Amino acid sequence: MIWFLWFTFIFAFPYDYIIAYVDDDIILYSEFQKNYLLIKNLSPPGSDTLMLKDSLLLNLINMEIITKEATKETISLKEKELEEILKERLAKLKENPSFNKQIFEEFKEFFKNNLRQELLMQKLLTKKKLLNITITPWELKNFYETTKDSLAKMPAVCEIAHIFFPILPKKEKEEQAQRKITEIYEILLRGGDFEEICKSFSEDKKTKELGGYLGEFFVDSLPEEFRKAIEKLKVNEYSLPFRSQYGYHIVKKLGEDKKRVKIAHILIKVSLSKEDTLETKKLLLKIREKALKGEDFTRLAKEYSYDLETKEKGGYLGEFVVELLSSPFKEVCEKLDSGDISEPVLSKEGFHLIKILKKKKERLLSFSEIQEDLRNLLYQKKLREIIDDYLKKVKEDYFIKINI
């Protein structure tokens, strides 16, 4: 269940205007806002929004200047060259346990545009003979000593698998929800308006007044049951009712573009009681007993888990930086050791049995282990200073006006 709805909304802007000029070129509010939303989604919660906006606008202006300077110097970058370097960067990113492919795909164009400017800048500095960067052994060792508490700290990492059970309702509650979603579907078949029916009957409080609008997503980022429901739909068609861990849905396809899709839904929840919660927990405790007595966890996950995304992989979720995990996975990884299986733990989705496949504790890397990474960081630091000096100088040749 890698983890479930990465619902990234695409905002429509009611109007557009120029927020900055660089000579005859302009930067539009829509371009600025689009990039801002991407950066905001990538930034840690609580980041200074004003600082993000100032930094972004400066970056967009710098990008315009770099493009103009590259044109002046007849410097170009072939698309093939850009794609090859992007592929190399992606391969390195995949080595990081916290790398998330869905996030990369979502923001690929943003990363690509920034890489294009970075490579053009390097070519410019090379042509201007400004890339004479040297790093002495003394500088490197001193850099390690002053930054090791932050840069040389290897975080704790856990490789985990799980068996997932949603909280299972009583049979009569399930049948009641089935009847209700079937009645709604029949109203739609008789010509009912999806948006109005949603406002009247949907039990998703967050979306019902929006006509069920969920947003625009990469198809591959949707849960399997959503993907199956919409894969053969044409735009403005709606699905048959289907079950998810949240209840029963009817999904309408509002639009699509290559690998992305806009969807709305009507949701009918299945009422749950405290007794249902306790009964589901008992079922998982029985499965845990089987595992503790020697039955293979992988086989048990394939047989019992309700997580369609991972059950055929024996419940395998992957390797994660512990401090970046959400509850209850973080607490389980902090408490248990390699080979341990947790008691049933409750998340917003349901109950989990979590097995720690492998655990690496936090440690401080030695100078020899991190030497090359530090060299690269120190190189980038010096490069940034050269770039800042260069841009400060060439900006004097341009008319720059900011309208915000």
Q: Residue 14, preceding bond cis, omega within 30 degrees?
A: no
Evaluate the CA torsion angle 323, 325, 327, 333 in order and state its sign. negative
Tell me the HSE value of 198 on the side-chain side, using a 13 A CA sphere. Answer: 23
Residue 8 has pLDDT above 60, yes or no: no
Q: Check residue 98 and give its pLDDT.
A: 58
Looking at domain 156-168+273-361, does it have CATH number 3.40.1500.10? no
| Residue-range domain boundaries for the chain | 18-152+367-402, 156-168+273-361, 171-268
Q: 100 pLDDT band (50/70/90 cuts)?
A: low
Rg (CA), the chain: 26
Of the segments 88-92, 247-251, 322-326, which one has the largest average pLDDT value? 247-251
* Fold annotation for 171-268: Chitinase A; domain 3 (3.10.50)
Closest CA to 299 of 283, 313, 280: 313
The pair of three-digit structure tokens given for residue 290, joined into one six-digit string: 């089987």
CA distances from 71 to 76, 129, 246 (A): 7, 17, 54
Under DSSP, is residue 197 helix (H, G, I), strand (E, B) or coil?
Answer: helix
pLDDT at 197: 97
Which pLDDT value is given to residue 164?
97
By C-alpha distance, which of 198, 175, 166 is closest to 185? 198
pLDDT at 280 over 50: yes
Q: Which CATH architecture has domain 18-152+367-402?
A: Orthogonal Bundle (1.10)
Q: Do domains 18-152+367-402 and 156-168+273-361 have the same CATH topology?
A: no
Instruction: Compute the distance between CA of residue 74 and CA of residue 127 in angstroms, rounded to an integer.
Output: 11
Lowest mean pLDDT among 46-50, 67-71, 82-86, 333-337: 46-50
**Which of the two residues, 8 and 138, has the higher pLDDT score?**
138
Q: What is the pLDDT of residue 51?
A: 83
The pLDDT of 2-19, averaged and rounded, is: 48
DSSP state of 323: G
Alpha carbons 397 and 401: distance in angstroms, whole number: 13
H or E element at residue 217: strand 213-218
Whole-number pLDDT of residue 4: 35
Residue type, 267: L
